[in-house]
Structure 1
């Protein structure tokens, strides 16, 4: 029997959370694979630690999710979807987790580069991060449009 060693590349994480809520404007980041909220939200909710509580409602940006349904079915329950056009909530999703509270996550556009998405996932979950979602995306776009910059310093700094 010929056994050949194979190297498999693990998929990049699509969700990061800060160790505790309430440290800054963001509690982490989520990088959905597409812009269909009805397809992506059940996977997001299913990947959360049960200790965060049951997600009963989400608030999303109308610009990022223009065709979002008002209700999304997740395993075991329905999630109400509220739309907002408040600038500081652009590119974010707020998860209402019942009595446990709320978590606000940066939503990384599905087509974002791997380098920028990796940086955004890391920084958004850092309790020291003081930037909101629109500012983080603007920094990522300005810092990751040049391959030489990425190799030189790993992306834009935030502190």
Structure 2
């Protein structure tokens, strides 16, 4: 099962894809994420992560022979996202799917976040996945309604 899905082409929404790490230890998971990215996007120099999802994140992580700066934020918008910065090559905003999320839900989140037409930011997608509404109806009506 894939743990990373990126938007093909140019994203039209607030997300450029999704990442489903296996655990909440950023020092273990970040090198795996970086290794999964296309080398053509450049060298990852910095990531911004929410302290809510990564409370014990280190300030730096060694990945594939170089140090990646880790910036921590308390921003609600960044609580369930990671921003991957590749310097002059660009940056990508990825939904971070909690490691404990069931595979069925994680698969749906990976697909939805990577959809170029997805209008929902990370917090709305996760709230939708955790809601008690019927999953199929909720996903369809939220996507049609657009961001709030």
Secondary structure at 2:49 match in 1: strand
- Indicate the structure with greater helix content: 2
Runs of 4+ aligned residues of structure 1 deviating over 4 Å after TM superposition are none
- Per the normalisation by structure 1, the TM-score is 0.84
Instruction: Say which of 102, 125, 137 aligns to 1:113.
Output: 102
1:6 corresponds in structure 2 to none
The answer to whether residue 117 in structure 2 is matched with residue 134 in structure 1 is no
Give the Å deviation of 1:90.
1.4
Offset at residue 52 of structure 1 (A): 1.0
In the TM superposition, residue 14 of structure 1 has moved relative to its aligned partner by 0.3
SS in 2 for 1:55: coil
Alpha-carbon separation, structure 1, partners of 2:40 and 2:91: 13
CA offsets, 1:54-88, max 9 Å, x none? 10000000010000000000011010000011111
Match of 2:139 in 1: 156
Question: Does the alignment pair 1:45 with 2:34?
Answer: yes
Q: Of 62, 68, 74, which aligns to 1:73?
A: 62
Q: Distance in 1 between matches of 2:107 and 2:138?
A: 10
Partner of residue 13, structure 1: 2
Please report how far the alpha carbon of residue 22 of structure 1 lies from its aligned counterpart in structure 2 after TM superposition.
4.4
TM-score, normalised on structure 2? Answer: 0.90
1:36 to 22, 25, 29: 25
Give runs of aligned pairs for residues 52-71 of structure 1, distance below 5 A: 52-71=41-60
Long gaps (5+) in structure 2: none
Larger radius of gyration: 1
Q: CA deviation at 1:21?
A: 4.2
Q: Counterpart of 1:116 in 2: which secondary structure?
A: helix
Is there any run of 5+ residues in structure 1 with no aligned partner, and where? 1-11
What count of residue pairs does the alignment treat as equivalent? 142
